[in-house]
A and B are shown apart, each in its own frame.
Chain A
Amino acid sequence: MKVRMDNVSYRRGEWQLTADAVFKTGVHIVTGRIGSGKSTLSLILADIIRPDNGSINLKGISSKTLSLQFPEYHVTGYTINDEISSWKLKPTEVLAKAGLSGRGNEKTLQLSGGEMKRLHLTCQLSKDWDLLILDEPFSSLDCIQKQKLCRELESRNNCILIILTHEQNILPKVDYIWEMDGGHLRYIGEVAYALEKWDGAPGHIRHALSKGVLPDNIREKDAMEALCRMQD
């Protein structure tokens, strides 16, 4: 499976997004400043907006989905049970997984920001996708839920998972690092060699690198283990 972007450009007023990239099977993380174009890139990859120039080719991909940053844009059900049923899923199972057991009759839009995000991601991740694009999946989640989401994402095999995020603390194990810089998509490289070249590296990775050690991956535990190895 492969997503190929050839000389893609998309203009909005003065601002322009450009991308020339190949996303292979595995977990990709895309970081970048706010307003750098991460969400626009996710919309182009999901074919919700079309680029002005260039082409996007999906090879061997039969199912794809995008999780938007704000979960309320996904809501179609009045109650939580209605919302889960709209995904053709069984409410009882999803409620338990999302930590919302017994609350199926509550109004979906009255959930807290984190609870709504949790509900949406649980529904979306209950299915298998060849191409899974997650725009800021960690925003609004507490650390317990972020860790749970990381475990879920790490368990997905044989798909192209693209995570666009500015999360700085709790992250899953990833294979490839990308950065959006002023609208331009840049490939940083494969983990762990790319870590030293990664401008958007989270604090724990920058801390480990400043101590002269290279973590195996981007999680806090990778940084901790690298720092412990240094002390041995």
Chain B
Amino acid sequence: MIEIKNLHHNLLQVERLSIERGHTAVIGPNGSGKTTLLQLCAGIELPNSGTILIGGEPLREQNVGWVSEFPDRNQVFDRVMDEISSPLRFTHTKCDMTDLLVNEIAGRLGIEELLQKSGRQISGGEKALVALATALVSKPALLVLDEVDSHLDRQTTEKIQFILQNCSAPYVIQCTQNMETAAVADHVIFLKNGHIQHFGSPEFVFDSLRDTCFVPFSRRIKL
């Protein structure tokens, strides 16, 4: 369970929120606090007040994977192999185990042929997959994705969503402007002006948002 209590941080105010295991989509207008919520859950920022527990552990005590909207801005190493290995190397994982885990995740994501390439030689979609592999390689308890699909084409987005549906992280939190992506998540949070307006299953949240543009086409044609 992810448990948030009495959280106050800049615009964001969450009195109480409990998120079960699974895939949670965070949606809402621009500037509603989505990225702030994700950065707090990932421990990139610490809250001004209040607590966040990830599986019972306080922030920064759990292994967290982060994938940014701009994957190349977070890239540390040039060679793809080194980039994906970096979370393991930074935690002093043995070399043979590092190689094993990197090859395993590259195989699962279908990017083995990129491992020896420079991060500058690969396309935007490939960069997103490399960032996802880097975030997943150390088997995080929480995987956070901040509008990763914002600059990707349909095919790459579908591939990433397929990987997320089958990934081992107990908690996945993804913010997106693509409501079709949110519609297949386990839970949806709708944020507005820093407050959680709706939280629950996609059916519940999109029913609450009826008559707004946030309802995805796939649900509208069923109404």
- Residues of A whose CB lies within 8 Å of any CB of B are 32-35, 69-70, 111-115, 117-118, 136, 139-147, 166, 168-170, 200, 202-204, 207, 220, 223-224, 227
Contact = CB atoms under 8 A, between A and B. Distances in A.
A168 B125 CA distance: 16
A141 B29 CA distance: 8
A112 B35 contact: yes
Interface residues of B, number: 31
B37 to A, nearest CB: 12
A142 B177 contact: yes
Contacts of B177: 114, 140-143
Contact of B31 (A112, A143, A147, A202): A112
Contacts of B156: 33-34
B89 interface: no
13 contacts: A33-B153, A34-B156, A112-B35, A113-B69, A113-B147, A139-B151, A142-B29, A143-B212, A147-B213, A169-B217, A202-B154, A207-B221, A220-B220
A34 B123 contact: yes
B217 A139 contact: no
* Among B126, B212, B216: residue with most chain A CB under 10 A: B216
B150 A168 contact: no
B111 interface: no
B200 to A, nearest CB: 20
Nearest to A38: B153
Interface string B200-223: 000000000000111011101100
Contacts of B119: none
Question: Across chains A and B, which 7 residue pairs bring their CB atoms closest together, nearest first?
Answer: A114-B30, A35-B123, A143-B213, A34-B125, A166-B153, A142-B29, A34-B124
Interface of B: 28-31, 35, 69-70, 123-126, 147, 150-156, 177-180, 212-214, 216-218, 220-221
A66 B124 CA distance: 21
Given A34-B156, A35-B123, A143-B214, A136 B151 contact: yes
A142 B151 contact: no
A35 B28 CA distance: 29
A34 B124 CA distance: 6
B125 A140 contact: no
A202 B179 CA distance: 14
Contact of A35 (B124, B147, B214): B124
A69 B217 CA distance: 25
A170 B212 CA distance: 13
B150 A224 contact: no
A170 B221 contact: no
Contacts of A35: 123-126
A140 B178 contact: no
Given A35-B125, A139-B150, A144 B180 contact: no
A111 B150 CA distance: 17
Contacts of A112: 30-31, 35
Given A142-B29, A207-B221, 14 more contacts: A35-B123, A113-B30, A113-B35, A114-B30, A115-B31, A118-B30, A140-B150, A141-B177, A142-B177, A143-B212, A168-B154, A168-B178, A170-B213, A203-B217
